[in-house]
Amino acid sequence: MFLTAIITLVSCVASGFFGYWIHRGLHQKWAGPFHRAHMEHHVELYPPGNMTSERYRTARWYHRGPLLFTPPFFVIVGILTLLAWIVEISLWNVVVPAIVFVLSGYINDVTHDSFHLRKHWAQRLPFYRRIRRAHFLHHNDMGKNYGILSFEWDVVFGTRDT
């Protein structure tokens, strides 16, 4: 039980780390179609000055989250499975991080999409307003604030803008 708690905690930290680098990577031209898909969100759907709508403006079907984030997810789970096999630990120690990564990704996606709605129930929460503002700063300066729910990796790597 203690090991599962440690693995869950480490998975939460790692999920934020990988999320930061995946998002930062989506802003690089070398990311090819992933970059173009992400720029659709930034430039066409929610450019500076037009960052909210009554209903979420959805990207083309082939630019949506599941198609963008499934490949990195499988790479990460594959690496974890290989590590579990090499050091001969229980496969449960791969399942826990996989669950954390999926839940983290889902919560990030839902939260991110809600930022772009004119009216959302969470706007009454000070924490939510703070992270929404940070996200809108990211739309104005795409080299800053890659986090969605938290910005500790932005602080660590010098990309935080308040």
pLDDT in tens, 130-149: 999 999 999 999 999 999 99
Residue 1 lies in a domain: no
Overall number of domains in the chain: 1
Question: In this structure, is residue 138 part of a structural domain?
Answer: yes
> Does some domain include residue 162?
no
Host domain of residue 72 = 6-156
What integer pLDDT is reported at residue 61 of this predicted model? 55
> Residue 64 pLDDT more than 80?
no
Which pLDDT score is estimated for 155? 97
Question: Each residue of 75-101: pLDDT tens digit?
Answer: 877 887 888 788 777 778 778 888 888
> Is residue 158 pLDDT above 80, yes or no?
yes
Task: Convert the pLDDT of each residue in 101-123 to its tens digit.
Answer: 888 888 988 899 999 999 999 99
User: Between these two residues, 126 and 94, which has the higher pLDDT value?
Assistant: 126
- Inform me whether the pLDDT recorded for 62 exceeds 70: no
Note the pLDDT of residue 91. Answer: 78
| Domain-embedded: residue 87 | yes
- The whole-number pLDDT of residue 82 equals 86
In a domain, 141, yes or no: yes
Structural tokens at position 2: 């203690």
Q: Report yes or no: 147 and 130 within 8 Å, Cβ to Cβ.
A: no
